[in-house]
C-alpha cells in the first residue's frame, strides 16, 4: 500500500509565498523559532552531560522540535498536556524554565518531582503538565479521561496526549482512543511518528498505511501531517483543540518526523539504521526549514540568528550549572507523597532510616545520580 501523503504548508525549501496560519504573526513565529533553538541547545548539552558522566540518562528531542514546539504553542494555558519522556519541547514551550528542566535532569532537591523519577520525566501542575510515567501508552486512556472530565464539567478546555509510533501497538492506545470516541472526549491525540521505537521501525508496529487511519476505527478524524513543518503542526493542532473545546470530539494527529539522535543515551542508532536514511531526514530539518522561511519573508536576519543561538547557549549553560550545584533531596522526603498523609508504617520506616543514617550504618546520599551509578 502506498504511504498516505502528509499535509504540509512549508516545503523543505521553506517557500516564501506561504502565509502563516491564523495565530502566528511574525513576532510569535520568532519566539517559536527561538524556543526551537533553545530546545536544540538544551538537548545537545543534556546529551553531553550524560556522556561526561554528570547525569545518568537522557532521551533527546532533536529533529522533533517543530512537532513539539508547534503543538504546544497551540495550547491555551487551561489545556492539559500529557507528555512522554521525549517532550522536553512541550515543557519548554509551556513556560517551564530551563532551570526547572535542568533540576529534573539532575534529580536534585529543587526538582519539582523531588528526585523521584529518571531524567526526562518533567511535571508541573502550574503549567498543566501531568506527571510522566515511563510506561509506554499508559497516559492515553488517562488523557481520554481528562477530556471526558472537561466535557462533563463544560469547561472551555482540551487535553493533548503525546505518544510515539511504538505506543500505538499497546492495548492502552486502543483503550484510550476507543473511550475518547465513545464519550466524545475533549482530547487531541498527538502521535509523533519518528519512525523508530528504540531499534524497531514503524513498519513493525503496524501493517496499516498510516497511523492516522486508525482514528476511523474509533469514529473520529485522523490527520497525517508533516511533523517537521512548524506551520502545519501549529495549524492542525490548533484546529483540533478548538474542535475539542467546543464539544466536537477527539482528533488523532500523526506527525511524521524523525528522531535524529539515539533513542536515549543507552543505544547507538548506527547499529540499526542507515546513514542514508538519517541524511534524508537531515535535509528536512525543522529548524533550518523555519529559519529559511523567516529569512525569505524578511522576519529574521543573520545577526538575529546569531544572537538567538548565543543567548540560548548562555541561558542553557547557566541553568545547568545552577542545577548541578544543588544537592540531592533530604532523606525524609523519601516517605512523602506516598499518600496524602503518611501511614503509621511510613512514619516508622522514616524513623528507621533516619536512625540508620544517624548511626552511620547508612550513608547519606550526597550526590545526584551520575552515569553508571
Ligand X SMILES: Cc1ncc(C[n+]2csc(CCOP(=O)(O)OP(=O)(O)O)c2C)c(N)n1
Supply the residues annotated as catalytic. 259, 263, 272
Rounded to the nearest whole angstrom, what is the least distance from the CB of residue 113 to another protein in the complex?
A: 4
C-alpha cell at 99: 532551570
Sites for ligand X among residues 293-332 (CB under 6 A): none
**Number of Cβ within a 10 Å radius of residue 167:** 24
- Quick one: 170 exposed, middle or buried, by C-beta within 10 A (0-12, 13-18, 19+)? middle
Sites for another protein among residues 95-114 (CB under 8 A): 111-114
85 versus 335: smaller Cβ distance to ligand X:
85
- Among the residue ranges 36-44, 119-127, 260-268, 274-282, the one whose residues contact another protein (CB under 8 A): 119-127
Rounded to the nearest whole angstrom, what is the least distance from the CB of residue 125 to another protein in the complex?
A: 4
**H-state helical runs in the chain:** 26-51, 65-73, 88-93, 98-106, 139-152, 171-182, 230-245, 275-282, 286-297, 302-324, 344-358
Place of cell 544517624: 358
C-alpha cell at 215: 482514528
Binding residues for Mg ion, rule CB under 5 A, total 4
CA 283/CA 286 separation, integer angstroms:
9
Chosen residue from 35, 159, 192, 251 binding another protein by CB under 8 A: 159
Rounded to the nearest whole angstrom, what is the least distance from the CB of residue 263 to another protein in the complex?
A: 21
Rounded to the nearest whole angstrom, what is the least distance from the CB of residue 156 to another protein in the complex?
A: 13
Q: What angle do helix axes 65-73 and 286-297 make, rounded to 10 degrees?
A: 60
Sites for another protein among residues 279-298 (CB under 8 A): none
For residue 143, give the nearest of 259, 217, 251, 258 by alpha carbon.
251
- Among another protein, ligand X, Mg ion, none, the one that 86 touches (CB under a kind-dependent 5 to 8 A) is ligand X
Binding residues for ligand X, rule CB under 6 A, total 15
**Is 148 an interacting residue with respect to another protein (CB under 8 A)?**
yes
Write the DSSP symbol of residue 8: -
Write the DSSP symbol of residue 217: G
- Among the residue ranges 58-66, 160-168, 260-268, 272-280, the one whose residues contact Mg ion (CB under 5 A): 160-168
For the chain, give the number of residues. 373
In the complex, which residues of this chain contact another protein (CB under 8 A)? 80, 111-114, 116-117, 121, 123-125, 130-131, 133, 135, 138, 140-150, 152-153, 159, 171-172, 174-176, 178-179, 182, 336-340, 343-345
In the complex, which residues of this chain contact Mg ion (CB under 5 A)? 164-165, 194, 197
Amino acid at each position: 500500500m502506498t504511504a498516505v501523503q502528509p499535509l504540509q504548508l512549508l516545503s523543505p525549501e521553506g517557500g516564501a509565498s506561504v502565509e502563516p496560519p491564523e495565530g502566528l504573526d511574525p513576532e510569535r513565529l520568532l519566539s517559536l523559532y527561538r524556543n526551537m533553538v533553545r530546545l536544540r541547545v538544551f538537548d545537545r548539552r543534556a546529551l553531553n552531560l550524560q556522556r561526561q558522566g554528570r547525569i545518568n540518562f537522557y532521551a533527546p528531542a532533536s529533529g522533533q522540535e517543530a512537532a513539539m514546539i508547534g503543538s504546544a504553542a497551540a495550547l491555551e494555558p487551561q489545556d492539559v498536556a500529557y507528555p512522554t519522556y521525549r517532550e522536553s519541547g512541550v515543557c519548554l514551550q509551556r513556560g517551564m524554565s530551563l532551570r526547572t528542566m535542568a533540576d529534573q535532569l539532575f534529580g536534585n532537591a529543587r526538582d519539582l518531582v523531588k528526585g523521584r523519577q529518571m531524567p526526562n520525566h518533567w511535571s508541573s501542575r502550574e503549567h498543566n503538565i501531568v506527571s510522566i510515567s515511563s510506561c509506554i501508552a499508559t497516559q492515553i486512556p488517562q488523557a481520554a479521561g481528562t477530556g471526558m472530565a472537561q466535557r462533563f464539567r463544560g469547561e472551555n478546555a482540551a487535553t493533548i496526549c503525546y505518544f510515539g509510533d511504538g505506543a500505538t501497538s499497546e492495548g492502552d492506545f486502543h483503550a484510550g482512543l476507543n473511550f475518547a470516541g465513545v464519550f466524545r472526549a475533549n482530547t487531541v491525540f498527538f502521535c509523533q511518528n519518528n519512525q523508530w521505537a528504540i531499534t524497531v521501525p514503524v513498519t513493525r508496529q503496524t501493517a496499516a498505511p498510516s497511523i492516522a487511519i486508525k482514528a476511523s476505527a474509533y469514529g473520529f478524524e485522523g490527520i497525517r501531517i508533516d511533523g517537521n513543518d512548524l506551520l502545519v503542526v501549529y495549524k492542525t493542532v490548533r484546529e483540533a483543540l478548538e474542535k475539542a473545546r467546543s464539544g466536537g470530539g477527539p482528533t488523532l494527529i500523526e506527525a511524521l518526523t524523525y528522531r535524529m539522535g539515539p533513542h536515549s543515551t543507552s543505544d547507538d542508532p548506527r547499529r540499526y539504521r542507515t546513514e542514508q536514511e538519517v541524511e534524508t531526514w537531515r535535509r528536512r530539518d525543522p529548524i533550518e526549514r523555519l529559519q529559511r522561511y523567516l529569512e525569505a519573508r524578511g522576519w529574521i536576519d543573520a545577526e538575529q540568528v546569531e544572537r538567538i543561538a548565543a543567548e540560548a547557549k548562555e541561558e542553557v549553560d547557566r541553568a545547568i550549572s545552577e542545577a548541578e550545584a544543588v544537592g540531592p533531596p533530604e532523606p525524609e522526603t523519601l516517605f512523602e507523597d506516598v499518600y496524602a498523609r503518611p501511614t503509621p508504617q511510613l512514619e516508622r520506616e522514616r524513623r528507621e532510616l533516619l536512625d540508620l543514617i544517624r548511626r552511620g550504618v547508612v550513608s547519606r546520599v550526597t550526590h545526584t545520580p551520575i552515569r553508571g551509578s
